[in-house]
Chain A
Amino acid sequence: MKTDKIKEILQAIAASGLDEVNIETESLKLHVKRNSSTTYVESVVSKPVEVFSLPTAPASPVVSEIAESKKTEKATLVEAPAKNTVAVKSPMIGTFYRSSSPDSPVFVNVGDVIQKGKVVCIIEAMKLFNEIESEVSGRVVKVLVENASPVEYDQELFLVEPI
């Protein structure tokens, strides 16, 4: 996927007024979120990239589905200086969950002081559930990924300020 092609898509999305768009083709996964730093492009298959055409109607069902969970999530996302922080990263590709079930409390919130070994989230992949423990002790200063969204290997999930 060429950079200018991505730019073109991003501009088209910007003009559309949508908050969040997921586009998926054989060669590419594009997940764009407005007012958020998570914009990433992932190549799905390692073969010559095919000509990519923007669907005339972006995946609107997906947008509305995610929009709801985003609202509740927003409140916990607090801007914090990125100084002296350590990132908790995803050890695998999967889906990020902040609690063990939809009606359970989240494992950690911004501001919580956690010990090394504290479970901070679950990454689910292919019906396998992986509880992720923090590798550092400190204060959670930022949650970088929204609940139930896909994460990549090594993607930063939380920022922790060591104490």
Chain B
Amino acid sequence: MWVWKKTMFSNTLFIGKKILRLASCASTNDFAAEVLSQNPHENGTLIITESQTQGRGQRGNIWEAESGKNLTFSVIFQPDSLLASDHFRLNMAVCLAIYDFLILFLEKNKVKIKWSNDIYFEDRKLGGVLIENTISEQKIRHSIIGIGLNINQLSFENPKAVSLTTLTNTAYNLENLLEKLGENLEKRILQIRQQNATLRAEYLQNLYWYQETHFFRIGNQEISGQILGIDQTGNLALQINQKIRYFSFKEIVFIK
């Protein structure tokens, strides 16, 4: 069991002012939803577990089993008045927060955001994001932001997975990392509503395979194309044979 020194974050306005620590749980997102059903006001509450038994949004859960080594947590965000159609801005903000955090330890131009919400170091996955919103009258009433990041785990069954430790040969104090990440998260979340914020530009700037030619599976075909950007709703824009085509998440698979 982890030993934690702090009960809440010091340098944030709302994130992590209340932290719930669980030795084990099925999914921190599900637990957060449960917390919200008991108390409707939980803005910034953070739920973290050492071992998530049914983590979602990730394929090949095998490495998830190594408990106590990684960061798996959820943050409840209750925006004041954020339109449902802005939900992709929230996703971009969260991905950028993780990026901001990781480049404190890793080579800047090797950390990438794989569309739409995975975090990569070169061609290997370091973590991912799973956001679940509740929409009421066209607005996001609350958002559960689930984050999983591989930190101290030394080996992975999946050759495409990697951790901060294996990349830097350093063991990390998870409590300190979590607080730092919480600060990055808050900073980016506060940018969602700023129309002059450069969330989209920065998201693209750090996007995996951005403006590179690669192979994608579309339907039953493997097609060569180049990522040009994303549209307002988050669809991926690809240039294929001099034409621009837009894809939603299920319509396209990254190949090589």
For residue B219, give the distance in angstroms from its CB to the closest CB of chain A: 8
> Does B91 make an interface contact (CB < 8 A)?
yes
Q: Decide if A129 touches B133 in the complex (CB within 8 Å).
A: yes
> Pick the contact of B246 from A44, A125, A127, A153 — CB < 8 Å?
A44
Q: Decide if B91 touches A26 in the complex (CB within 8 Å).
A: no
Closest A residue to B230 by beta carbon equals: A126
Q: Decide if B235 touches A126 in the complex (CB within 8 Å).
A: yes
The A4-38 residues at the B interface (CB cut-off 8 A) are 26
Residues on the A chain within 8 Å of B234, using CB: 125-126, 128
> Does A86 make an interface contact (CB < 8 A)?
no
Binds B, one of A72-80, A87-95, A103-111, A137-145: A87-95
Closest A residue to B128 by beta carbon equals: A127
Residues on the A chain within 8 Å of B131, using CB: 128-129
Instruction: Select the residue from A44, A123, A125, A133 with max chain B CB neighbours within 10 A.
Output: A125
Interface residues on B, range: 20 to 34
A26-B244, A26-B245 as given contacts; A130 in contact with B84, CB under 8 Å:
yes
Closest A residue to B141 by beta carbon equals: A133
Q: How far is the CA of A127 from the CA of B131 in the complex (A)?
A: 8
Q: Decide if B244 touches A131 in the complex (CB within 8 Å).
A: no
> Does A66 make an interface contact (CB < 8 A)?
no
Q: How far is the CA of A140 from the CA of B90 in the complex (A)?
A: 32
Q: B residues within 8 Å of A by Cβ?
A: 57, 83-85, 87-88, 90-91, 116-117, 130-138, 141, 233-235, 243-246, 248-250
Q: A residues within 8 Å of B by Cβ?
A: 26, 44-45, 91-93, 95, 117, 119, 123, 125-133, 135, 150, 153
